[in-house]
A and B are shown apart, each in its own frame.
Chain A
């Protein structure tokens, strides 16, 4: 088929694929020969708020880390807005699991948030007044501006999570990856975080969230990916988040199936 042919239907298609915020092709990651994720294909359109759910050990965190090039891939290709990661870095924001760092590290909340700007500063350059203001603005968005000078060791779990969120906000990315932002936070914090995610989403940002609580999936996310080493299903929550797909993801031993039934 000739590529130069101005074919209307193909034109629409090309525009569609250019609008994909994230495209993952045949991604496989293996730890000690055993695949952690297997042959993952994902197409995430721009502007969706997507939950990634699956049982423990399903490879949810691994998927995010592999997509962000943080762990070696055995196979597969990833592109953001049609570009490889190396050229799309400034478009990508990341919120790692809260437990992945030492919260007794000698630094302040403002300092941690400013770290979100280090990538843009590049080698050698120090953060200055402008960076400080951007960081304070991000802290304001997560309701922690009064905690800017606090030491991070004095934060509660929910405040730690929101500090991480502010650090991602300050990156001013187009697509955000969040690894279990709701784990072990109280209900008030969870609501606050959901509010932030939805605000991001309204501004046209794409957000992928590793999530645990099946009860809230339909309420929080308009798109969902069900993962258990392989992608079981991915698409609109209203179409994909079905008891049948959940059974295939969790192997039928979930009590939440009733809840999903109610939603479906």
Chain B
């Protein structure tokens, strides 16, 4: 488990996933043409492009929302945008950029309101978020109902902002989203170091002279802008899903922030593109829910399959460990018994082995037999040549751990968690193992 090698294989895995998702995305679209008879009209292509671009932006920003544990804040902010859409429409008519500016202002005021509640009252954060989410959303719904009642406004389709509607997207909208989105991503690239530091440890950032309040405000504003860009497509209710799902999925595959952000961008592009295309097939399918279904499909896959964090992976590695430890312990028990009863290759009675090892003994014996390290006979088990060698190695490893426990401090070795079943040479540098070995030699010589 040399760190260099282990790391590069983890890195390779991440890039593999990124490649696979891009490939899947690129294949799905032409394939759907063949299989489902979907005609890739100009409209559908625009929608797919818009969905993907939005997915990239929300995937990137969503990573920060997830890591800052601000998913619910994102939800409150997207709900808070609705009255802004309605008021902008009443003031200036149905022009997307105007509606989005209205949405942005409302959402940003919602953000300030959460902060104001937290600063001036003793209300806790979850309650503050609930207050803002519900009150602004209710105001938005009421305003929309009012607008619907105005004779020539009923066709404006503002209710699309609730669940999102891909079919309503035109090329100009995509240009707008791309332009603003690019600026947002540029900000992330410029302030990468600052955003990372403040997200990880705001106190330390403050003590180092970074203006934490300012950086937080910029980051929150970027998240608001991202939410607003996605409203037409995903809708105020489900936009938060598009924001956080790619980040959650990406987090399962990697331990590095930069990889997580890139992976989230790819996951976001896939969900946004595929979800938007599916919903464009029929104007009755709302886009928001469709994108979220795809995105959370990726989340489900990730939390099941991802190495280290995935449920399946953890289950399998636990099983493998249980088997390995059982085999090691049983081997050690037989070896010790044999040594004190005539020699390494003497017979250890089956009753003794089961008595000492309990239920894991059976598991251990099966493994040892399969590995050719122990063989049954005469009502007991005998170690084979390779079994004896293995047992000697295990015993030596345990003694090295003993030396480590006694002399780690004196030798100034790195401090490790003592897992004695683990080969000490795999967790300590070679030079340190040498030192322990010579200590062991000294002890043996003086004995």
A binding-site residues for B, Cβ under 8 Å = 32, 65, 68-70, 86, 89, 92, 94, 96, 100-102, 105-108, 112, 115-116, 118-119, 121, 123-127, 143-151, 153, 156, 158-159, 162, 167, 171, 188-189, 191-192
Contact segment of B131-139, B206-214, B385-393 = B206-214
Contact partners of B417 in chain A: CB under 8 A:
156
When distances are taken between beta carbons in the complex, the residues of chain A under 8 Å from B409 are 188, 191-192
A149 touches B7 (CB 8 A): yes
- The 7 A-B residue pairs whose C-beta atoms are closest, nearest first, are A119-B208, A151-B255, A94-B207, A89-B209, A149-B3, A101-B201, A68-B207
Q: How many residues of B contact A (CB 8 A)?
A: 40
Instruction: Point out the residue from B210, B413, B414 that lies within 8 Å of A147, measured CB to CB.
Output: B414
Residues of B within 8 A of A147 (CB): 414
- Asked if B67 is at the interface of the complex by the 8 Å CB criterion, the answer is yes
**In the complex, are the beta carbons of B257 and A107 less than 8 A apart?**
yes
| A102, B414: Cβ atoms closer than 8 Å | no
CB distance from B302 to the nearest CB of A (A): 14
Bound: A206/B190 CA distance, A: 35
- Give Cα A115 to B403, complex, Å: 36
Q: What is the CA–CA distance of A135 and B32 in the complex, to the nearest angstrom? A: 51
Q: Which residue of B lies closest to A93 (CB)?
A: B207
The distance from the CB of A30 to the nearest CB of chain B, in whole angstroms, is: 15
> Cβ of B4 < 8 Å from any Cβ of A?
yes
Give the docked Cα–Cα distance between A86 and B67 (Å).
30
Within 8 Å CB of B15, what residues of A? none
Q: Does B201 lie within 8 Å of A96, measured CB to CB?
A: yes
What are 29 of the A-B contact pairs (CB < 8 Å)?
A32-B122, A65-B203, A68-B207, A69-B207, A70-B206, A86-B209, A96-B203, A101-B201, A105-B200, A105-B257, A106-B67, A107-B196, A112-B200, A116-B208, A118-B205, A119-B208, A121-B193, A123-B194, A124-B191, A125-B193, A127-B193, A143-B413, A146-B3, A146-B428, A147-B414, A149-B7, A158-B415, A159-B415, A171-B208
Q: Which residues of A contact B207 (CB under 8 A)?
A: 68-70, 92, 94, 96
- Report the bound CA distance from A146 to B412 in whole Å: 13
Contact of B200 with A115 in the complex, beta carbons under 8 Å: yes
Interface residues of B in 2-18 (CB under 8 A from A): 3-4, 7
B206 proximity list for chain A (CB < 8 A) = 68-70
Besides A100-B201, A106-B67, 17 other CB < 8 A contacts? A68-B206, A70-B207, A86-B209, A89-B209, A106-B254, A107-B200, A115-B204, A123-B194, A124-B191, A125-B193, A143-B413, A143-B415, A144-B414, A146-B429, A148-B3, A149-B7, A156-B415
Given contacts A119-B210, A188-B408, contact A149 B4 (CB under 8 A): yes
- Chain B residues with CB under 8 Å of A121's CB are 193
- The answer for the CA separation of A127 and B197 in the assembled complex, in Å, is 13
Scan residues 306-342 of chain B and give those whose CB is less than 8 A from a CB of chain A. Answer: none
| B260 within 8 A of partner (CB) | yes
A32 neighbours in B (Cβ, 8 Å): 122
Using A105-B67, A188-B415 as known contacts, say yes or no to A70 and B251 having CB atoms under 8 A apart: no
Cβ contacts under 8 Å, B201 to chain A: 96, 100-101, 115
| Distance A65 CA – B212 CA, assembled complex (angstroms) | 14
Complex Cα gap A92–B260 (Å) = 33
CA distance A57 to B205 in the complex (A): 25
CA A26 to CA B254, docked complex, whole Å? 49
Greatest chain A CB density within 10 A among B206, B210, B428 is at B206
| Contact of B197 with A118 in the complex, beta carbons under 8 Å | yes
Q: Is B124 an interface residue (CB 8 A)?
A: no
Closest to A186 in B: B415
A125 to chain B: closest residue by CB: B193
Q: Which listed residue, B197, B251, B413, touches A115 by the CB 8 Å rule?
A: B197
Kindly report which residue of chain A lies nearest to residue B256, judged by CB atoms.
A106
Q: Which residue of B is nearest A115, CB measured?
A: B197
Distance A67 CA – B273 CA, assembled complex (angstroms): 51
Contact between B193 and A107, CB atoms less than 8 A apart: no
Among A70, A112, A148, A188, the one with the most B-chain Cβ atoms within 10 Å of its Cβ is A70
**Bound CA–CA A115/B194 (angstroms):** 10
Are A101 and B408 CB-contacts (below 8 A) given A126-B193, A127-B193?
A: no
Asked if A106 and B257 make an inter-chain contact with CB atoms under 8 angstroms apart, the answer reads yes
- Known interface pairs A108-B256, A146-B429, A188-B409; A101-B414 also in contact (CB < 8 Å): no
Most B Cβ at <10 Å: residue of A89, A123, A126: A123
Q: Say whether B256 contacts A118, CB under 8 Å.
A: no
Name the distance in Å between A222's Cβ and chain B's nearest Cβ.
Answer: 24
Considering the complex, give the chain A residue whose CB is closest to the CB of B254.
Answer: A106
Tell me the bound Cα distance from A148 to B414 in angstroms. 12
Which residues from B are CB-within-8-Å of A119? 208-210
A187 to chain B, nearest CB (A): 9
How many angstroms between the C-alpha atoms of A124 and B7 in the bound complex?
Answer: 28
Residues in B whose Cβ lies below 8 Å from that of A100:
201, 203
Complexed CA–CA distance, A116 and B260 (Å): 22
CB pair B7–A118 under 8 Å, yes or no, is: no
Q: Which residue of A lies closest to B211 (CB)?
A: A123
Contact partner of A107 among B190, B256, B429, CB < 8 A?
B256
Taking CB atoms, residues of chain A closer than 8 Å to B197 are 115, 118
